[in-house]
Copies of this chain bind each other. A is one copy, B any other.
Amino acid sequence: MSNATVAVVGGGLVGTLNAIYFAQRGWNVNLYEARPDMRLPENKAKERGKSINLALSERGLSALRATKLGLDKLILEASVPMYARMVHVGDKQMSQAYSVHGEYINSVDRARLNDLLLNIAEKFENISIYFEHQLVMIDFDKNILSLKTGSTEHQSSIVKHYADLIVGADGAYSRTRGQMMRRMRMNYEQEYIDTGYCELSMLPKLNENGESEFALDPNHLHIWPRHTFMLIALPNPDKTFTCTLFMPFDMFNEITTKEKLLEFFSTHFPDAIPLIGQERLIDEYFKNPRGSLITIKSSPHHLNGQAVIIGDAAHAMVPFYGQGMNCGFQDIEVLHQVLDHHGITPVLTKKMKNQLEKALTDYSNTRVKDAHAICDLAMYNHYEMRSAVTSLRYLARKGIEGWIHLWAPRWVIPLYTMVSFTTIPYSKAIERWHKQNFWLNVVLGTVSMVTLTGLTGVILFNKNNRKEQNYRDIIKTVLDSVWKNFN
């Protein structure tokens, strides 16, 4: 019996890494990508200016590390560490560290990371990469994929490929998912937010010695929070910054002339104008497309033992927690842990096929709730980034949380730390966060109450020493009875 074949639909980050995982399991892998090979110079230009920079953190790194191919190190070499948020308010900049232990996230370029993964995948004898193969249809009776080949409508033709297992890693608008939904009762939800985005870029500046250097502190994720909208900037290894303006579509639609754009930036982001440059700002704002932001939840993620979706195909999220890719990579690690746990080998006997179905069921049972959790958290962080980061209450609380974490790291772990610097399942992280919040509130509440009571007592004591006695008596009686209750 020959080894089983897995069809991986989508040669993006998640699809390619998943192909490598299956190749290491000994499966024959066919990796299908609708676009041409983006590593070729003639295709490079098509890709630029389309997507948000990525922040690689522990979940992503863990999945790269698990391949034991040194992928994590290779990728970290081409990334810029970001230790903190830099919040720009007025002409002040405030650095807010991501971790009290100095942990950091990494700004990486999507295209560069994708190229690197494809280069590694190509070296596996049991991986075949098919560019310009776009999934059209899946016949789940025979497990046959119909794929449209060729880049233009004119030259295209349909090829049919068999696969024992189909993995859909074809993004938020996944055709694999669409085909699965025709065969099964899949719960599905998509929700757009009113906020759109537009990418801008910031070139390096020249220093006194005529050398180019970053226009802003490179080891920060820069944020200009303005409540309903915000500007962010992430560093690139070439000393540029990729900026993203997040703003309600209504506002984009109102800013229709150069004058309005400059007025808007002068009012809200005056320090960003010289950094981006007036000409460049105008050019890019009007030339670059407006992106939209969607949350997608689906359940379950699998169809029998035949197909499974991972990454954005299974769960798209808004980009505000920097977890889209990290979650997609973790999907792969979790999926293969589940396959290991069920002892899945590439020799698909009938028994093994049953086992595979059980494994995929297990995968959905564990992963769906984590996917839902991070989708919700990403939406919550949209609020936090735009607004909360400038509120005193938020900062005070974050400070206390961080301080407790520093001294009792097992007792309280800040949510951001759990999400970005551990691999704790997302749903568990939320659960723990709620519990921590409860106890933090109890402690903070008690501290506040005691302080308040003490202060009131002191004030009244002073007051009554001069005027009347009975207030003092009342407090004394109350405190006495409290004291008795405790003894």
Contact = CB atoms under 8 A, between A and B. Distances in A.
Copies of the chain in the assembly: 2
A188 B189 contact: yes
Interface string A265-304: 0000000000000000000000000001010000000000
Contacts of A394: none
Contact of A191 (B187, B192, B292, B294): B187
A294 to B, nearest CB: 8
A188 B187 contact: no
Contact of A185 (B187, B188, B189, B292): B292
Main secondary structure of the interface of A (DSSP, over half): strand
Interface string A127-169: 0000000000000000000000000000000000000000000
Interface of A: 185-192, 292, 294
Given A185-B192, A185-B292, A188-B188, 11 more contacts: A185-B294, A186-B190, A186-B192, A187-B190, A187-B191, A187-B192, A188-B189, A188-B190, A189-B189, A189-B190, A189-B191
A301 to B, nearest CB: 15
Contacts of A188: 188-190
14 contacts: A185-B192, A185-B292, A185-B294, A186-B190, A186-B192, A187-B190, A187-B191, A187-B192, A188-B188, A188-B189, A188-B190, A189-B189, A189-B190, A189-B191
Nearest to A178: B178
Of A185, A186, A189, A192, chain B has the most CB atoms within 10 Å of the CB of: A185
Contacts of A185: 192, 292, 294
Contacts of A187: 190-192
Contacts of A192: 185-187
A188 to B, nearest CB: 5
Nearest to A296: B188
Contacts of A292: 185
A185 B248 CA distance: 13
